[in-house]
């Protein structure tokens, strides 16, 4: 692979992926990149131990640790291809385990932390036919509770060192994984149970090349990451991709950053981070919880890019972040919105705008480049390409596009369709292209229908939140409780601070009802102001609207703060 100045020549990557006569070999590429930095720090792990402590590891040391982990697994589980589910906390152990699987040809699937009563973790273990769940001793107790059904452990649990922590007599499912699959990335489950996306080495290489090419990343790039390693933004974009494009990364605990958002920006300063990012909620938390006196000495001048994705991005959020932190060295235009999904390995579109183009949309635009524009189509209901300015479903194609879902042939056939000799992914997202901008307007499944017109749930939620500064536009769910009357909706919205009451609830409720009815024709039959943390969310902060709606319909949702909602007569 030749180098083009500072950036790995990404066109070679794309060419190798499209060449069906040879295997681009993700394992070989990872090994080469680790050895390129064998005597240099390739990852730094920050952790709290009295104060913030840093552990650095070189490319050589990380490669040796991964190869040692692979030997332990082969000794414990034997030869061949099989799936191991990783239920490990943030840190070097997790990174080593992922690389061990990719280097050795063992398929790994990263899982979220075990939570009591959460059905997603046992679902993933059964769905992927995991031969074992790999964890660390300190996490074993909670994991055991999650994977025990009627006193029967559903899958063997092993420590990373090969020690059996809990045996199981339940045989794993005989799952047929595609020969090209090297990793299973489960979706966040915002609308239903998580699905296992089958990723090939070619998909990962192509997407890493697209990211490097679009954002100009290379050996001098320093990624500062706080996102969970089991989420595709953390695992792909901030752990594997920096290795592939020859850079380095700094890894923080998500818990440390959510507890104290300033920790994230201080890490950018301390390690001269050049790129970082996260979902919209973390930018909102920085604006709300970082006081000027807390960051008087903060220096963000090393940061070239701050991406924001994983959920819809309000149009006013990133400009507000820029305005606040430019005073601390954040370069003008550094923050921008991006769009992606696990079914396309990670990244679809998003780049720094070359100018501040005015628009009247409530959503932040994802800037398109010629490369990303080529891979996107906005399609009508009958599968025809929409002209610019017309909303339709976002379809995506290209070498990053994965092979489909594990154990879900019908859903794979529905979502991955052939048109004009190309395989397209139907994303399920609505969007519109205006000039060089892609606006992702909402999920098809989250639409409210008024007189035959689609109204995005986020539009209703954000307008409602604007009626009172105590309401959180990023923690709300608007939906139709009765599908037979889609223009009648309920709104659940969290308050921004911990509260036992909500003063003036009736006045705010009336203001929201009138504004939403006037703007969209949607009649809100019930509005509930909820304590912070009530609504079910995914690991990236997206509200699980369908779960919230189901909880509401079953009469199990919090009654709300303040007086009970009284519908206003139109």
Cβ(295)–Cβ(264) below 8 Å = no
User: Is 264 in the same domain as 326?
Assistant: yes
The CATH number of whichever domain residue 415 belongs to comes to 3.40.50.12780
For position 21, what pLDDT does the model report? 34
For position 363, what pLDDT does the model report? 78
- Inside any domain, residue 303: yes
User: Is 335 in the same domain as 457?
Assistant: no
Query: How confident is the model over 237-281, as pLDDT tens digits?
Result: 999 999 999 999 999 999 999 999 999 999 999 999 999 999 988
User: Is 307 in the same domain as 214?
Assistant: yes
Cβ(445)–Cβ(428) below 8 Å = yes
Note the pTM of the prediction, 2 decimals: 0.82
Q: CB neighbours (10 Å) of residue 389?
A: 10
For position 312, what pLDDT does the model report? 76
Q: Which range marks the domain in which residue 506 is found? A: 451-553
User: Is 107 in the same domain as 247?
Assistant: yes
- Inside any domain, residue 360: no
d(CA 3, CA 10): 9
In this structure, the strands spanning 7-8 and 3-4 are antiparallel
Q: CB neighbours (10 Å) of residue 200?
A: 22
- Inside any domain, residue 559: no
User: Is 305 in the same domain as 262?
Assistant: yes
User: Is 380 in the same domain as 269?
Assistant: yes
Query: How confident is the model over 61-73, as pLDDT tens digits?
Result: 999 999 999 999 9
For position 153, what pLDDT does the model report? 73
User: Is 427 in the same domain as 457?
Assistant: no
Task: Identify the domain boundary among 381, 403, 431.
Answer: 431
Short-list 247, 307, 250, 319, CA closest to 279: 307
Phi, psi angle pair for 159, to nearest 5°: -75, 160
Query: Which string of DSSP letters, residue by residue, matches 126-173?
Result: HHTT-SEEEE-GGGHHHHHHHTEETTEESS-EEETTS-EEE---SPPP
- Inside any domain, residue 74: yes
For position 22, what pLDDT does the model report? 39
User: What is the three-state SS of 313-354?
Assistant: CECCHHHHHHHHHHHHCCCCCCEEECEECHHHCCEEECCCCC
Phi, psi angle pair for 225, to nearest 5°: -125, 135
In the chain, how many domains are there?
A: 2
Those residues of the chain that have pLDDT short of 70 are: 1-24, 49-51, 116-118, 150-152, 189-192, 355-361, 451-453, 483-487, 498-500, 539-541, 559, 561-570
User: Is 163 in the same domain as 311?
Assistant: yes
User: Is 105 in the same domain as 246?
Assistant: yes
- Inside any domain, residue 561: no
User: Is 470 in the same domain as 395?
Assistant: no
* Tokens coding 79: 């030869």
- Inside any domain, residue 77: yes
User: Is 413 in the same domain as 460?
Assistant: no
The CATH number of whichever domain residue 527 belongs to comes to 3.30.300.30
For position 158, what pLDDT does the model report? 93
For position 15, what pLDDT does the model report? 44
- Inside any domain, residue 492: yes
The radius of gyration of the chain from alpha carbons, rounded to an integer in Å, stands at: 23
For position 543, what pLDDT does the model report? 79
For position 6, what pLDDT does the model report? 39
Cβ(388)–Cβ(434) below 8 Å = yes
- Inside any domain, residue 104: yes
User: Is 461 in the same domain as 340?
Assistant: no
Task: Identify the domain boundary among 384, 401, 431.
Answer: 431
């Amino acid at each position: 692979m030749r180098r083009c100045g500072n950036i790995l020549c990404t066109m070679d990557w794309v060419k190798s992926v499209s060449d069906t006569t040879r295997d681009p070999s993700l394992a070989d590429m990872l090994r080469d990149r680790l050895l390129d930095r064998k005597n240099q720090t390739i990852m730094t792990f920050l952790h709290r131990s009295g104060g913030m402590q840093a552990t650095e590891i070189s490319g050589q040391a990380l490669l040796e640790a991964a190869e040692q982990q692979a030997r332990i697994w082969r000794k414990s589980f034997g030869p061949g291809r099989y799936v191991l589910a990783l239920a490990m906390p943030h840190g070097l152990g997790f990174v080593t385990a992922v690389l061990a699987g990719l280097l050795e040809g063992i398929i790994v699937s990263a899982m979220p932390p075990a939570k009591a009563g959460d059905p997603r973790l046992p679902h993933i273990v059964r769905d992927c036919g995991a031969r074992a769940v790999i964890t660390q001793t300190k996490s074993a107790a909670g994991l055991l509770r999650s994977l025990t059904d009627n006193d029967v452990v559903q899958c063997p649990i092993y420590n990373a060192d090969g020690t059996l922590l809990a045996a199981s007599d339940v045989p794993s499912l005989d799952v047929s994984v595609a020969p090209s699959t090297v990793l299973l990335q489960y979706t966040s489950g915002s609308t239903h149970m998580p699905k296992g996306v089958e990723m090939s080495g070619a998909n990962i290489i192509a997407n890493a090349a697209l990211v490097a090419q679009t954002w100009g990343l290379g050996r001098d790039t320093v990624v500062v990451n706080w996102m969970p390693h089991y989420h595709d933004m953390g695992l792909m974009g901030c752990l594997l991709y920096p290795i592939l494009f020859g850079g380095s990364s700094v890894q923080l605990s998500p818990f440390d950053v959510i507890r104290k958002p300033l920790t994230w920006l201080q890490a950018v300063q301390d390690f001269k981070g050049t790129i970082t990012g996260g979902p919209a909620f973390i930018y909102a938390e920085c604006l709300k919880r970082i006081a000027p006196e807390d960051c008087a000495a903060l220096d963000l001048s090393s940061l070239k890019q701050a991406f924001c994705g994983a959920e819809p991005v309000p149009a006013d959020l990133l400009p507000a972040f820029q305005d606040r932190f430019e005073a601390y060295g954040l370069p003008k235009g550094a923050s921008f919105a991006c769009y992606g999904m696990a079914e396309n390995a990670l990244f679809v579109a998003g780049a720094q705008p070359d100018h501040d183009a005015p628009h009247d949309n409530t959503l932040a635009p994802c800037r398109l480049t010629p490369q990303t524009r080529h891979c996107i189509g906005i399609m009508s209901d009958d599968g025809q390409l929409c002209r610019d300015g017309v909303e339709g479903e976002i379809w995506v194609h290209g070498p990053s596009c994965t092979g489909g879902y594990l154990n879900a042939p019908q859903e794979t056939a529905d979502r991955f369709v052939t048109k004009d000799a190309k395989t397209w992914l139907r994303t399920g997202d609505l969007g519109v292209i205006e000039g060089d901008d892609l606006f992702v307007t909402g999920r098809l499944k989250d639409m409210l229908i008024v007189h035959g017109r689609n109204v995005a749930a986020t539009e209703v939620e954000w307008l409602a939140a604007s009626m009172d500064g105590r309401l959180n536009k990023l923690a709300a769910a608007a939906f139709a409780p009765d599908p037979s009357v889609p223009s009648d909706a309920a709104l659940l919205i969290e308050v921004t601070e911990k509260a036992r009451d909500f003063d003036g609830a009736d006045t705010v409720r009336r203001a929201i009802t009138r504004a939403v009815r006037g703007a969209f024709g949607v009649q809100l039959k019930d509005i509930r102001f909820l304590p912070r943390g009530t609504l079910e969310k995914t690991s990236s902060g997206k509200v699980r609207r369908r779960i919230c709606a189901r909880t509401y319909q079953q009469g199990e949702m919090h009654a709300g703060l303040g007086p009970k909602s009284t519908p206003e007569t139109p």
